[in-house]
């Protein structure tokens, strides 16, 4: 049985909202990543441990951004298949 009309519209709304959110999250994460790296440089003269932890946080943020980018690409492919 085909899906209800409301279900199709709801899926479209979810896709549209998710696409907007993914774009926002990716941009936002990249801003945080840069900020962490900047502060790591500033903190280096105070504490190498603090600087290292900030660099690790930046790397984790970059990895999250990469995963979000993959999710965005998968969403686009999914939307194109219809």
Residue 7 has pLDDT above 90, yes or no: no
| Domain interval for residue 45 | 5-80
| 70 CB-side CA count, 13 A | 6
Q: How far apart are CA 55 and CA 34, in angstroms?
A: 10
Q: Using one digit for the tens of pLDDT, what is the confidence trace for 9-52? A: 577 899 999 999 999 999 999 999 999 999 999 999 999 999 99
Give the residue among 28, 30, 37 at the shortest CA–CA distance from 57. Answer: 37
Give the residue among 51, 66, 46, 30 at the shortest CA–CA distance from 74. Answer: 66
Q: Give how many domains the chain has, as a whole number.
A: 1
22 in helix, strand or coil?
A: helix
pTM score, whole prediction = 0.82
């Amino acid at each position: 049985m085909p899906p209800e009309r409301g279900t199709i519209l709801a899926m479209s709304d979810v896709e549209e909202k998710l696409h907007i959110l993914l774009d926002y999250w990716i941009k936002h994460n990249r801003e945080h990543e840069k900020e962490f790296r900047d502060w790591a440089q500033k903190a280096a003269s105070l504490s190498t441990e603090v600087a290292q932890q900030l660099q690790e946080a930046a790397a984790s943020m970059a990895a999250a951004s990469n995963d979000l980018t993959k999710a965005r690409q998968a969403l686009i492919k999914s939307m194109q298949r219809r």
